Amino acid sequence: MLFESWIFGLIIMMVASVIIAKASNIFELATDYLGRNMNDGVKGLTLNAIGSSFPELLTTVFFLAFATQENLGRDLAASIGGNAGSAIFNCIVIPMLVIQVVLMLGVKDFNISRKVVLRDGIFLILAEILLLVILSSNYITHWHGWILTSFYVLYIFYALKTMKKGEGDNEIDGMHFEKNKWFTQYLFKKEDGKTARGWALLWLAIIIIGLACAGLVEGCKMIADALTINPIFVALILVAAASSIPDTIISIKDARKGNHSDALSNVLGSNIFDITISIGLPLAIYLIVTGQKINFATDGPTIIDIRVVLLLATFVTILIYLFSKKITNFHVGLLLGLYLLFILYAIGAAQYNAGSDAFLAKISGSFVEYLRQPGGLNDILQKMSNAIGQGWR
């Protein structure tokens, strides 16, 4: 039947992606106006990063909410895969597009604050290490979620404390935006109440994006069931790319306006949000409300390789920004090659998981087997995580 085929699942995901893209334009207008007095990357790591990461947050919510008891561990792994895939997309593809846009505009000076790269980059790597360790436990409880959530609170507190305060009034008017959009006309229809209307548009966009995310999750499961593969591999590429649409739109628009630090801090800040709040907060609340713990001994090891790949990809892209004196098309090609390698790895890992002996399956499978071998990284992390959370069960 059509309604049970992978094609129908893909159609649902495509429609949801278009809705997210349209709603992202409303979101971008609202954050641009509400963050008009912010500087030095503040808007990127607060309004942009938090708001544009709502798709990742809500996909975790829906993966948990729609999960049956027997598939709870599998669907948690899928949500982690979606967030990890989104973080990889953000870390590689969005900077690649931002660099390309800036170069096409003829801008020779790609100004990115090293302070922003170091601050957000270090916190991001620490967050990914925390994710690697914490979610290697045989059992996941609400305490695991609260630890991830608390890390993000620490990051925001430090980032805002070290930021410079905004200088002067950067009030903007409707001339800054496309006038033919209904939401632009609504925001600037009169002088009074623009801030309130900005917040109204922001929440409208978030609600629309949230409903579309429910479609993403259902489409992901439909494709996985039809192809008889683990939904984590669908989430890793398709859900990840679709949920990163707001980040992509905002970062590109910031880059076109010359806000290079905001464009990058949105990417790094979104990734920190994705792997701490987007996973941790729904997980903590869900497990407290249901009074459950998740047996993760079987499904946890299926994502050890994905979390390691995420850490490696982040490390490489941060090094590119820190040690490249001049950003050129060479860096665009380097990032593109890195993402293509990730896609090929994900396809191979899906084939390996399904028992295939195809060429890509053998290559990806060798890496997975290396991580999962007795006494290997997966075993070390499991023992460490189980020791940390021994009293949480």
What pLDDT, in 10s, does the model give residues 20-55?
888 888 887 887 788 777 654 566 566 666 777 888
Question: Domain boundaries in the chain?
Answer: 2-392
| Cβ atoms of 52 and 234 closer than 8 Å | no
Inform me whether the pLDDT recorded for 179 exceeds 70.
no
* Cα 224 to Cα 10: distance, rounded to the nearest angstrom: 10
Inform me whether the pLDDT recorded for 142 exceeds 50.
yes
Domain 2-392 listed as CATH 1.10.4030.10: no
**Cβ within 8 Å of residue 58, ≥6 positions away:** 209, 210, 213, 214
User: What's the pLDDT tens digit per position in 68-90?
Assistant: 888 899 999 999 999 999 989 98
The pLDDT value given to residue 209: 87
User: What's the pLDDT tens digit per position in 334-379?
Assistant: 889 999 999 999 999 988 988 889 999 999 999 999 999 999 999 9
Inform me whether the pLDDT recorded for 250 exceeds 80.
no
Could you tell me the pTM of the whole model? 0.84
| Cβ atoms of 75 and 63 closer than 8 Å | yes
Please report how the helices 245-256 and 54-65 are oriented relative to each other, as an axis angle in degrees rounded to 10: 180
Mean pLDDT of the chain: 84
